[in-house]
């Protein structure tokens, strides 16, 4: 159960971070409304708060979160940008997720 909760929390954290960065991108690159910066700031605040909910040490959480972020970013690439990830994108995401699992779920000495 701990593993499923951790992965779900990482997934929500990644969505908050990506959305918090994507909205300013729309304003800067796609000439969308500057008002997108308001929900972007809220998303980035949510991102920081969600990272604080993990029971592991902060450095370990940040390192493991990177693996989930990579996978979610590729999912975003497909769902939002409409670009199909390559086989190598998927292999890389798999390696990153394996790294996350090792960091978060391997037995700890302390």
* Cα–Cα distance measured from residue 33 to residue 43, given in angstroms and rounded to the nearest whole number: 17
Check: CB of residue 17 under 8 Å from CB of residue 51: no
Mean pLDDT of the chain, nearest integer: 91
Write down the pLDDT at residue 110.
Answer: 58
Q: Which ranges of 1-110 would DSSP assign to H, the alpha helix?
A: 2-29, 37-52, 58-79, 87-105
Spell out the domain ranges in the chain: 2-105
* Cα–Cα distance measured from residue 54 to residue 34, given in angstroms and rounded to the nearest whole number: 33
28 or 3, higher pLDDT: 28
Write down the pLDDT at residue 85.
Answer: 97
Nearest-10 crossing angle of helices 37-52, 58-79:
140
pLDDT over 80 (residue 1): no
pLDDT over 80 (residue 105): yes
């Amino acid at each position: 159960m701990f593993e499923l909760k951790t992965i779900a929390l990482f997934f929500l954290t990644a969505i908050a971070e990506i959305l918090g960065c994507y909205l300013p991108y729309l304003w800067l690159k796609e000439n969308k409304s500057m008002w997108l910066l308001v929900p972007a700031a809220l998303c980035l605040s949510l991102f920081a708060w969600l990272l604080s909910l993990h029971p592991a040490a902060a450095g370990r959480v940040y390192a493991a979160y990177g693996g989930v972020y990579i996978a979610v970013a590729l999912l975003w690439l497909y769902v939002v940008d409409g670009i199909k990830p390559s086989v190598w994108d998927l292999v890389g995401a798999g390696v990153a997720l394996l790294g996350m699992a090792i960091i978060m779920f391997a037995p700890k000495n302390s």
